[in-house]
């Protein structure tokens, strides 16, 4: 199949056309089946897993967005490959109509699956600026005596490794094409974490085309599939307006 393209149609029509062991990362926002939207119909997970396992490499990561209660169904659909989850903490909550009955929802679960340990490039953050301090006194563990000294202590680093909760703001105020549109920054974070440049990323439910846009921004190749004709048209128009230098 041609890469760097958003295909229009059912993913189960296109997945059989893909080569075995060709995909480096799968990053999908599956329909949960929790709304009345015509597109929100859960996929056949057994059928989906059969194809995803075939097209991915032995060390490819498969990431799937979800939310309770569907996250339990999704995790149990492949417990053999399920490893852990990452929580996306949102800046805005949803579920205002039920605010008097239950907590509003302000997070989504990203379930991480793989067969063998995948590429992992931890996206570190940084705290305060590096400092040098002078320790004027030090209390020993054995006595109450304070020893005077002029030793300078350098903070070697303030870099922080990623945690299981990540916080990204929505970017729908800039461009809103889909109800469940994911922030480009969040998708780029996962792409950089689980792949290297030039890798091939697959999205079987591409919606507004955010995954394709994130791949262009990070110099990754992509194959995306979208069943809805309107979303497909909007997403193609979106990426056609982006400058691209990614490899074919």
Euclidean distance between CA atoms 52 and 62, whole angstroms: 8
Q: Output the pLDDT for position 137.
A: 45
User: Is residue 245 domain-resident?
Assistant: no
Residue 80 domain flag: yes
CATH code of the domain containing 39: 3.40.50.150
> What is the pLDDT, as a whole number, of residue 147?
55
Please, which residues have CB within 8 angstroms of residue 104's CB and are 6 or more apart in sequence?
93, 94, 95, 96, 98
For residue 222, what are its two tokens?
Answer: 């992509």
Helices and strands (DSSP H and E) totals, the chain: 6, 14
Residues whose CB falls within 8 Å of the CB of residue 220, separated by 6 or more in sequence, listed in order: 191, 195, 197, 198, 199, 200, 201, 246
Tell me, what's the pLDDT at 140? 47
Domains held by the chain: number: 1
| Residues contacting residue 81 through CB under 8 Å, at least 6 positions apart | 62, 113, 114, 115
Decide if 86 is inside a domain.
Answer: yes
In a domain, 201, yes or no: yes
Question: Residues in the chain with pLDDT < 50?
Answer: 137-138, 140-141, 143
**Taking the CB of residue 232, how many other CB atoms lie within 10 A of it?**
20
Range of the domain at 79: 5-120+162-240
In a domain, 79, yes or no: yes
Asked if 61 contacts 118 with a C-beta cutoff of 8 angstroms, the reply is yes
- CA 213-164-114 angle, to 5 degrees, is 70
- Whether 145 is in a domain gets the answer no
Residue 221 covered by a domain: yes
Task: Examine residue 134 and state whether it is found in any structural domain, yes or no.
Answer: no
């Amino acid at each position: 199949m041609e890469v760097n393209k958003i295909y229009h149609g059912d993913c189960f029509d296109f997945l059989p056309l893909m080569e075995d062991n060709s995909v480096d990362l799968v990053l999908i926002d599956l329909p949960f089946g929790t709304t009345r939207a015509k597109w929100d119909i859960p996929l056949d997970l057994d059928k989906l897993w059969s194809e995803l396992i075939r097209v991915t490499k032995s060390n490819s990561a498969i990431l799937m967005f979800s939310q309770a209660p569907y996250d339990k169904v999704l995790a149990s659909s492949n417990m053999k490959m399920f490893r852990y989850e990452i929580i996306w903490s949102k800046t805005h909550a949803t579920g205002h109509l039920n605010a008097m009955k239950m907590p509003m929802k302000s997070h989504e679960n990203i379930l991480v699956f793989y067969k063998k340990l995948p590429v992992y490039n931890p996206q570190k953050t940084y705290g305060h600026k590096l400092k040098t301090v002078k320790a004027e006194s030090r209390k020993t563990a054995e006595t109450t005596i304070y020893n005077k000294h002029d030793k300078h202590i350098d903070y070697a680093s303030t870099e922080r490794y990623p945690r299981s909760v990540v916080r990204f703001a929505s970017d729908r105020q800039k461009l809103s094409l889909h109800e469940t549109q994911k922030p480009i920054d969040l998708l780029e974070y996962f792409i950089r974490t689980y792949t290297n440049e030039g890798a091939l990323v697959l999205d079987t439910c591409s919606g507004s085309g955010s995954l394709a846009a994130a791949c262009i921004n990070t110099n990754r190749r992509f194959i995306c599939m979208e069943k809805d004709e309107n979303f497909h048209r909007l997403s193609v128009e979106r990426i056609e307006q982006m400058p691209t230098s990614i490899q074919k």
